[in-house]
Amino acid sequence: MQLDEHPTVKKLKARPPGEVKPQSPVSAQMLKEIARKHGADDAGLVDIGRPSLKSEIGHIRSVFSETKTLLAICGRMNREPVRSVVRSVANQEFHAVYDEINDIARAIVRELSDMGIPACNAVAAFPMEAQLPGRTWTVAHKPIAVEAGLGHMGLHRSVIHPVFGSFILLDTVLIGVEADSYDQPVDYNPCLECKLCVAACPVGALKPNGSFDFMSCFTHNYREFLGNFNDFVEAAVVSKDMKGFRKRISDGETASMWQSLSFKPGYKAAYCLAVCPAGEDVINPYLEDKAEYLNKVVKPLQKKEETLFVLPGSDAEEFARKRFPHKEIKRVRRHVAVGSVKAFIAQMPLAFQTGRSKGLDAVFHWTFDGQETIEVTVRIADQKLQVSQGHVGEADVRVFADAKTWLDIVNREYKMINAIVLRKIRVKGSMTLFRAFGRCFPG
Ligand code: B12
Ligand code: SF4
């Protein structure tokens, strides 16, 4: 049979043209109405060509290559559960809203597809492309939501909605046609710069100057997620017997891990969102009585007796001991194996500990050879890290390393001292500076 004679093709040809191919551009108002009808609490549209999203296009198109328009949506979380000292209550709220916005995005895609508009929903939270190391997510919702006018990133680095404040979660629908108009960022930042998020974070991951210590947040808040689960596995593997295992992981931690694996993982904190007073719907109690707000919302989380997970010798460890002496501190290991020198270099800014680098002002020239040939310059000064390709400027310390040996050391499968004795790592310059460099990347 000729394809034109097939019943499916004949039926399609009998339809009016508008039903087969949607008009382009599509109405922006209609797209946002569909989003609201399916339950989105707010929605905004961005064109894929927005200059600020240039670095994201590849990631977005890896999910849906036809993407021309981004429909950013948000779902509101209930405030009091997110603020509860009982974190299972907060976690239930996070997971429920993640499920909700994933469902809303699916429903939008279904309706658009039925209209002949190609669309694909991204993932709100987990599951992601969780194969560490590397970027575990594809579509980054925060920069898209900002461009779509859903809010701005606050000091705590989450997006604050002008009305709902920090109590929102985000998702994005990727649409294969252009819209007839697009949104712009909100013309002010709802963040009040009150720094309550800084005061509440139990591991000091948020800094008053707006910088964010990814590794400290990841090590504590994400103790039962992703790479940190490897620590649990390793404890089980290396322990001789149950007594040995219990020395490493308490029965309470095992129970908590069971709970996370069975009923969706539990965040250990998320206090930065909980205490944020920004947003028209949220701000009133804070405006009325700041001291009372502090007593009711911030102090209970600060006073909470709980275990804080930190890397040995990290900024978080020092911070937590000083600031929250009543909280138990547990030293844990970093357990995401680094697969290449390239990945090691890319992760440096995430692992860098500003506090550990205090007083250090030095330039390091690294030369890797063997399975990877890479030259890189690392400058640490004024508690800031700068990584540049090649050898730039005058070096205080020059390090020559066999790439595989270096990775084995980073992954704790080989000892630095052995590598130095066997000249697989050679350090020219001050060993004191070299050791100071190491202290900036603990764990
Ligand atoms: C990676 C990620 C994280 C990382 C890094 C956080 C961060 N600031 O980006 C970690 C694991 C620490 C994290 C923690 C949390 N997250 Co998160 N996270 C994401 C994710 C997957 C991507 C974030 C992103 O776009 N970053 C890019 C840029 C714009 O962010 P940035 O802050 O400028 O820069 C950071 C990243 O680039 C990161 N980074 C750079 N390279 C790499 C490489 C790797 C391998 C990793 C892991 C990170 C990383 O480090 C930078 C410094 O922090 C999104 C979901 C998504 N698909 O978009 C959710 C998302 C940002 N997270 C969210 C939430 C709610 C949280 C938590 C509150 C979770 C919780 N319940 O405890 C905490 C808050 C911590 C904080 N104050 O930021 C929400 C925020 C909602 C909102 N209102 O904005 C999002 C949007 C999920 C969602 N669907 O709603 N998260
Ligand atoms: S708690 Fe205060 S400083 Fe932190 S994000 Fe909210 S408004 Fe900004």
Residue-wise pLDDT for 12-50, tens only, equals 888 887 666 777 899 999 999 999 999 999 999 999 999
Q: At what angle do helices 214-221 and 315-323 cross, to 10 degrees?
A: 70
Picking from 22-26, 275-279, 401-405, 434-438, which range would have the lowest pLDDT averaged per residue?
A: 22-26
Q: Whose CA is nearest to atom 79 of ligand 1?
A: 169
CA-based nearest residue to 282, from 196, 161, 175: 161
CA separation for the pair 327, 100 (Å, rounded): 34
pLDDT digits (tens, 9 = 90+) for 82-128: 999 999 999 999 999 999 999 999 999 999 999 999 999 999 987 77
CA-based nearest residue to 53, from 111, 118, 140: 140
CA separation for the pair 169, 148 (Å, rounded): 14
Which long-range contacts (C-beta less than 8 Å, at least 24 apart) are formed by 253-256? 253/307, 256/224
**Ligand 2 atom closest to the CA of 192, numbered from 1:** 7
C-beta 443 within 6 A of ligand 2:
no
Q: Please report where in the chains the tokens 């290396």 appear, as a residue.
A: 238
CA separation for the pair 343, 346 (Å, rounded): 5
Judge whether 165 and 277 are in contact, CB under 8 Å: yes
Average pLDDT, the chain: 94
CA separation for the pair 305, 324 (Å, rounded): 9
Interval between CA 159 and ligand 2 midpoint (Å): 10
- Does residue 127 have a cis bond before it (omega within 30 degrees)? yes
User: Cα 210 to chain center, whole Å?
Assistant: 16
| Across 309-321, average pLDDT | 96
Q: Exposed, middle or buried, 200 (CB in 10 Å: 0-12/13-18/19+)?
A: buried
pLDDT at 16: 80
pLDDT digits (tens, 9 = 90+) for 222-243: 999 987 888 899 899 999 999 9
Dihedral through CA 51, CA 52, CA 55, CA 58, nearest 10? -70
pLDDT at 132: 61
Judge whether 224 and 266 are in contact, CB under 8 Å: yes
Judge whether 27 and 171 are in contact, CB under 8 Å: no
Dihedral through CA 22, CA 23, CA 28, CA 32, nearest 10? -20
What is the CATH number that goes with domain 341-439? Answer: 3.30.1050.10
330 — pLDDT class (breaks 50, 70, 90): very high
CA-based nearest residue to 149, from 118, 200, 199, 183: 183
Ligand approaching nearest to the C-alpha of 194: 2
* Global pTM value: 0.93
Q: How far is CA 366 from CA 203, 424, 438, in A?
A: 31, 13, 13
Question: What are the tokens at 228?
Answer: 């940190």
Judge whether 143 and 151 are in contact, CB under 8 Å: no
Task: State the span(s) of the chain assigned CATH 3.30.1050.10.
Answer: 341-439
Judge whether 265 and 221 are in contact, CB under 8 Å: no
pLDDT at 127: 74
pLDDT digits (tens, 9 = 90+) for 179-212: 999 999 999 999 999 999 999 999 999 999 889 9
Number of Cβ within 10 Å of residue 69's Cβ equals 22
130 — pLDDT class (breaks 50, 70, 90): confident
Residues touching ligand 1 (Cβ under 6 Å) are 94, 124-125, 133-137, 139-143, 156-159, 166, 168-171, 212, 214, 217-218, 221-222, 267, 270, 272-273, 350
Dihedral through CA 320, CA 324, CA 329, CA 333, nearest 10? -20
Ligand approaching nearest to the C-alpha of 222: 1
CA 125-131-136 angle, 5° bins? 40
